Structure formats: C-alpha cells, structure tokens
Amino acid sequence: MALHGKKGFSASQTKRTSRRMNGSMIGSHVERPSVKRGRHSAERGDAGTNRVDFSDSHRSRRATRGYVDQIDPGATSGESDADFARRSSRRGYAEQIQSTARKKRVATGAMVAIVVAAIAVAAGIGAFFAFSDARLSLGDSNAREALVAPAEGEAYFALCTAQLGSSGEQDEAYMAVRIDEAARTLTFVTVPSQISVEMSDGERHTLAEAASVGGDAELIRQVSQLLGVDIAHFASTDAAGIRRLVDLVGGVPVNLAVEVDDPRAGTNVLAAGEQTLDGSQALTLLRATNFTDGLTTQATNRAMFTVNLAGRATSGEGLSFPSVVSDAAPSVSTDWTSGQIIALGDALRPLSDAVVYAGVVPGHLTEDENGSVYRVDDDELASMMDAVRAGNAPQNAEGSIANVNRALITVDVRNGAQVTGAAKRMGELLESAGYQVKYVGNTDDNTTYPETLVIYKDAAYEVAAKAIVSDLAAGRVVNGGDFYTFDTDVLVIIGKDWIPAGS
C-alpha cells in the first residue's frame, strides 16, 4: 500500500480561512465600518475595507493570509461618547459609594469609641457621686420625715447643727440658714439650744433634748415652728468633724472684731484682727460666748467661720471642690447629695462676694428650777423673721437688744419711788434675768422720781440699758453723760411708774 503525505493548504482554502478570522477578530483587527462613531472608533480613510491595520505592510500582508502574532494595545471599544460617559459615570458612582461606605465605617467606629469613652467617664463620675453620697448619707437619722422640699427657684432654709462639746460635754450649736441662690444671699439665724418648748411627748424640754424625744425630726419640727419657716435640708457634724474639715481646707481665715478669750471655750486666745485658724482654734471661736453683746457676737463669728470654711472649699486652691466634698463626707451627716452640694457651691461662688447676714433668736438666758433656760421674745422674733423671709438683715425695730449677754452686765439699783423694798425686789428680778446686780439701795438726793430711768454713760452699754427696759417692761433709757455718777455698766433709778409684783 502506498503511503501518501499530508497535503498543504490550497490558495482558495487560505483565503477562506483568512476571511473567517477577519470576521471573528476583536479590537483593531476587525472589519472597520465606514460610519464615524466618535473618538473611540477608527477614523481611517480606508475604513470599511477587509484589510487589518498594522504599522508596516509586511505584517498587514501576513494578517491578510491568516497569521496574527500581535494584538494592538491601543485597541478601542467601539462605543459612542455618550455610552463611554455613562459607563465612566457608573464606575465613578460605584467608587464614590465605596468611599462613602468606608467613611461611614470610620465615622461609626469613632462614634462608638466616643460613646464607649463617655459611658466609661459617666460610670466613673457616677461611681464617684454614689461613693460620696453613701458617705454623706443621714444614716439612721429620721430627719427626712420633717423636711419640706422648697419651691423651684425660691429661697429655702437649711438647719445646720454641730455638737461642739468634748469628752461627752453637751454643747449644741444650731443655725437656721436662709439660702437664696438667685440673689447669692445667706442669712444665718443662731437658735440657742436652751430654748424651752413643748414637744411631741406633751412635756417641755430644751431644744438640746429634742433628739432624745423624737430624733432629728423632732428638732427640725421645733425649729421650724419656732421660726415660722419650712426646713428643706439638714446637716450635722461634731467637734472632731470640724477639726477634720478645717485641716482638709488648710485652715480657715477670719477677721475678728473683738478678742476671743473664754476659758470655758478652750485654752486658745484669739486676738482681734485677721488670722487663719486651725481646727482647735476654730472650736474655741465657735464655743466662745463671753462677749459684751452676748450671743450677737457669737452668731456673727459662727456665720463668718461657716462662710469662710465653704469659701476655702470652693476656691479651687489645692483640692478641687468635688474632691473636698468627697473627702469631707465622713465628717458630715446630711440629706444633701454631693451633686447638690457642688451645684450650690457653684451657684454661690465666689462666696467672698456673696451677701451674708447673721442674727440670733431674740431673748435672754435665765435660771429656773431646771437650770439655764433661754426665754424668747416672741414679738421681736416675729419682727426679725419678717425681715429674714424678705431677704433682709435679721434686725428688728429694737436693734439687737435681746441679744445682750446679761451675765456680763453689772447694774446698780436705786429706789427713787419712796416705796419700801422696791429696790430689793427689782434687784432680785434683774438677777433672775441674768444680770449682775452689784448695789441695791435708795437714791441720796431725797427726790421722788415719777418714772423709772435706766441710765448708761458708755455708748457700748446703750443696748444693755434697752435690754433692761425690755425685761422690766418699764422705764426710759437715758444717756447719763456727766450728770450721774456710778461704777457699774448701768444705773437703774426706780420711779413711781414701776409697781413690783405682789404690791
């Protein structure tokens, strides 16, 4: 059998193959129509022919015969400008969407981080306030039972108490404070603990005994009734707490009008003028009572100390106010939360610019079968509280006559009424009111006085003379000048207008 070799392509087969390839190629190797389609289509003068587009004739001839060994990298899509713009726009829009999505993811991540940080800070602040509030709490006190919430934006009263005694000694200090945040005004009214009132058990007790009768709520109700105001907040501390508070703020500056030298208050002697008190000196100041005008100076000193202590705490010097509140919390028992105290401090800051008034419940100390009792002058108290509620100074028409420390006032009593025993009876009456009666006798000018005269020479004792007139419910205050001679602070000449009890 004869073997035949493989035949090659004939000329006609080569042409057919070339035409098929030309009809199936892409890019610059396809047949180019003569219609102009834009800058992305071929713009050759011979467009529409069957030849392919190469840079040299040799390659073109080879491609025509069916051999293609290169694709033009500058191949065009054959689309119109509008189609190209739409396609490009779609691609740009998709990229924009992807970019926006990335930005949103970044922004969302940042927001989550901020929220997480805020929650962490809030949790920390919440824990701080919760910790402080727990230490500030009233504990087992029933004070809340008697507290009355103030009207929004109105001035309100707080009752502040301190046990100033040491080693079991009873020495209570009570101050009702009117707080007007809007007007930045503080009014301190000292309430003597020896005031006797009828309590919930139907018996009369001094205010110092109120806690033993009905707890702090009993004390709050009695002070509220006495002053004719609602009490919104309550705070209490003791001698040890005051020492810690003073040391915490680095001492309390004061400017004393008179020297403080009261052996019953402590061993410290505080000179008049500016100074900074430590804890021990502060207690001496708060306890001292032996002033010429009695409780008036004590009330002023206590108010000044309290305001300056708060001023140091809120000044920002050293510890921040929130830190002071937190550190001071164990020394104070109160219904106030730490947040409320901080807000109050911010509202009144700087306290050096706040208006501060101080006064004391009008009355005087006297002795009865139960010991020392503070007798309140109801009319003067009503007048004073009218002024306090109106936001004015706690003064009344009589000035501060009822606040005289009668134990420091010496009196000479002379009978000018020619009524036997009148001087002795008046002397006993004044002694029971607390005055030091040094002399009792008759006048030596053989004159019958139609009215009782209460005479002073030193202007410092004018208020004491007015207090005697108030206690006697008789007499006229006279500036004796050089017309009368006596060695005591006040001279009383009994006139016929004074009739002793029992006569």
Q: Is residue 287 part of a domain?
A: yes
Task: State pLDDT tens for residues 77-113.
Answer: 455 666 555 555 555 555 665 666 666 665 555 555 5
The enclosing domain of 475 has a CATH number of 3.30.70.2390
Task: State pLDDT tens for residues 271-294.
Answer: 999 999 999 999 999 999 888 766
Res 215: pLDDT: 94
Do residues 97 and 236 share a domain? no
Range of the domain at 483: 409-494
Q: Is residue 74 part of a domain?
A: no
Task: State pLDDT tens for residues 195-204.
Answer: 999 999 999 9
Do residues 174 and 308 share a domain? yes
Do residues 428 and 398 share a domain? no
- Cβ neighbours, 10 Å, residue 193: 18
**How many domains is the chain partitioned into structurally?**
4
Do residues 193 and 223 share a domain? yes
Q: pLDDT category, 319, cuts 50, 70, 90? A: low
Q: What's the rounded mean pLDDT across residues 365-379?
A: 78
User: CA-CA distance, 56 to 70, in Å (whole number)?
Assistant: 13
Which of 403, 426, 452 is where one domain is finished? 403
Do residues 192 and 289 share a domain? yes
SS (H, E, C) 421-450: CHHHHHHHHHHHCCCEEEEEEECCCCCCCC
Do residues 128 and 149 share a domain? no
The enclosing domain of 335 has a CATH number of 3.40.630.190
More confident residue, 92 or 154: 154
Q: pLDDT category, 414, cuts 50, 70, 90? A: very high
Q: What's the rounded mean pLDDT across residues 287-316?
A: 82
Task: State pLDDT tens for residues 202-256.
Answer: 999 999 999 999 999 999 999 999 999 999 999 999 999 899 999 988 999 999 9
Do residues 484 and 354 share a domain? no
Q: What's the rounded mean pLDDT across residues 154-173?
A: 84
More confident residue, 110 or 389: 389
Q: What's the rounded mean pLDDT across residues 488-494?
A: 94
The tokens describing 423, both together, are 């001087």
Task: State pLDDT tens for residues 430-455.
Answer: 998 889 999 999 998 888 898 999 99
Pick from 100-104, 391-395, 404-408, 431-435 the range whose average pLDDT is largest.
431-435
Q: Is residue 332 part of a domain?
A: yes
More confident residue, 115 or 430: 430
Q: What's the rounded mean pLDDT across residues 380-389?
A: 89
The tokens describing 235, both together, are 């705070």
Q: Is residue 7 part of a domain?
A: no
Residue with tokens 């050096």: 352
Do the Cβ atoms of 192 and 163 come closer than 8 Å?
A: no
Which of 403, 420, 445 is where one domain is finished? 403
Q: What's the rounded mean pLDDT across residues 336-364?
A: 82
Do residues 360 and 476 share a domain? no
More confident residue, 301 or 134: 301
pLDDT at 27 over 50: no
Q: What's the rounded mean pLDDT across residues 454-482?
A: 85
Q: pLDDT category, 19, cuts 50, 70, 90? A: low
Which of 388, 403, 418 is where one domain is finished? 403
pTM exceeds 0.85, yes or no: no
Cβ contacts of 376 within 8 Å, gap of 6 or more: 195, 226, 361, 362, 363
Q: Average pLDDT over the chain, rounded to whole?
A: 76
In this prediction, what percent of the chain has a pLDDT beyond 70?
A: 67
Strands (DSSP E) contained in 142-279 are 156-163, 172-180, 185-190, 196-198, 204-206, 233-238, 252-256, 273-277
Q: What's the rounded mean pLDDT across residues 334-338?
A: 84
In this prediction, what percent of the chain has a pLDDT beyond 90?
A: 27
Do residues 166 and 232 share a domain? yes
Do residues 367 and 435 share a domain? no
Q: What's the rounded mean pLDDT across residues 466-484?
A: 84
